[in-house]
Amino acid sequence: MSTSLVAAPFVAGLAEGKILVQRCADCGQSQKLARYACTACGQASLAWGPAAGTGTVFAVTLVSRPPEEAFRSLVPYALALVDLDDGGRLMGHAPAELRIGERVRAEVFEFAGRHLVRFERA
């Protein structure tokens, strides 16, 4: 799994147990994905800062076929796409019975030497 350079601070944050979002220093807008420039004002003044990790479930999907061998012991597992209160949309592992619209909180867990996001009901 490769990590794009622009999202590297996010991955580094996970290793410290932190959920980070990217915000524009000029207008304060949070970015939904890691970007090189602000989607609201176009300035390249994006900085990474901590997020509360709370949010609302936008979508849930069940994964029954592992994307790679390391994940075989985890399947089946759910992945949730969550709109963070601090802005941005984040994907992470989740309880299979989670529903769209539920309130969740993100935490970081370690699996196969990687730091991954998991959502639990808030």
Binding site for Zn ion (CB under 5 A): 24, 26-27, 29, 38, 40-41
Question: Closer CB to Zn ion, residue 29 or residue 54?
Answer: 29
Distance CA 38, CA 9 (A): 16
Question: Closer CB to Zn ion, residue 8 or residue 41?
Answer: 41
Residue 56 CB, nearest approach to Zn ion (Å): 23
Residue 22 CB, nearest approach to Zn ion (Å): 11
Residue 36 CB, nearest approach to Zn ion (Å): 12
Quick one: tokens of 91? 């994907």
Contacting residues for 102 by C-beta, under 8 A, at least 6 apart: 56, 57, 121
